[in-house]
Amino acid sequence: MTLQVIGAGFGRTGTLSMQKALNDLGFGPTYHMNDVFQNRSHVQQWLDFGESGTADWDDLFAKYRAAVDFPASCAWEQLYAEYPDAKVILTVRDPASWWRSTSEVIYPARTMFPAWLRRVVPFTQRWVDMVERVVWTGVFDGRFEDRAYAIGVFEQHIETVKAHCDPDRLLVFQVADGWEPLCDFLGVPVPAEPFPHLNDSASLKRRFAIMRWGTRLAPPVAAVAALAAVARRRG
């Protein structure tokens, strides 16, 4: 299996919808940040990429036909050279709304795991380090919170991809465009079902909030349960 589609768009530009769309069109499985959690060895591979700028792409994407979202979009240029027959989809959205969504939804995930969990479950610390190194430092130079700077990086990224890619291999796409331009670009029929619209900000924020509060409540809950168990035995 080899990559046929490279998603060059940043996270929060409709990448989960694009993952579902590509899977529905027969270009799956499609790699997404969620897949990093299902392939934990990939965290170290992306950490290494953050240091060296390269990776064993055939190994990393051995089971995938397409890749979208962070961290894959951070390596779009390397993947473009590695897979000369692959097409590139650059998902975009209004820069101001992109920064607002990213700052409210995925940037706070940096603090999602408390210190105790990162010590007990080393994978969580490696994941935080990977995202920090590859995305927040690697792409945004540690200045994502500077709105003007981050938006400038976003806009420059779009222009760089447009300038670098062969026009025949590139589609600049907004999820609101629907099936037609995507299917025309990929040379496949338009499905009967509506274009997927997934991963709205509210649901993702709720998911992260549950994880954040759940991991912070776990130690005191466990302590209370342990004390209750001791009391029952003594009783």
Q: In CATH, what number is assigned to the domain containing residue 56?
A: 3.40.50.300
Of all residues in the chain, the percent with pLDDT exceeding 90 is 72
Number of domains in the chain: 1
DSSP 10: P
Quote the pLDDT of residue 85: 97
Residue 204 confidence (pLDDT):
57
| pLDDT number for residue 226 | 35
pLDDT tens across 83-141, in order?
Answer: 999 999 999 999 999 999 999 999 998 877 888 887 888 888 999 999 999 999 999 99
Reduced to 3 states, what is the DSSP secondary structure of residue 88?
strand
- Residue 230 pLDDT more than 60? no
Structure tokens at 221: 């809950």
pLDDT at residue 171, rounded to an integer: 98
Instruction: Convert the pLDDT of each residue in 20-46 to its tens digit.
Output: 999 999 999 999 999 998 888 999 999
Which pLDDT score is estimated for 103? 95
Q: Encoding tokens for residue 143?
A: 């200045």
pLDDT in tens, 9-24: 999 999 999 999 999 9
Name the residue with tokens 């209370």: 224
Q: Give the mean pLDDT of 65-78.
A: 98
The predicted structure's pLDDT at residue 33 = 93
The number of beta carbons lying within 10 Å of the beta carbon of residue 192 is 6
Q: Average per-residue pLDDT in the chain?
A: 87
Residue 222, pLDDT score: 35
- Check pLDDT > 90 for residue 199: no
Q: What pLDDT sits at residue 119?
A: 85
- The answer, yes or no, to whether residue 211 has pLDDT greater than 80, is no
Residue 82, both tokens:
């590695």
Confidence check: pLDDT of 221 > 70 = no
Position 218 scores a pLDDT of 42
Q: What local confidence, expressed as pLDDT, does residue 202 receive?
A: 58
Q: Supply the range of the domain harboring residue 151.
A: 5-234
Backbone angles phi, psi at 87, to 5 degrees: -95, 155
Give me the pLDDT at residue 124, please.
Answer: 87
Residue pLDDT, tens place only, 90-101:
999 999 999 999
Q: What is the per-residue pLDDT for 17?
A: 96
Q: What is the 3-state secondary structure (H, E, C) of 95-106?
A: HHHHHHHHHHHC
pLDDT at 189 over 90: yes
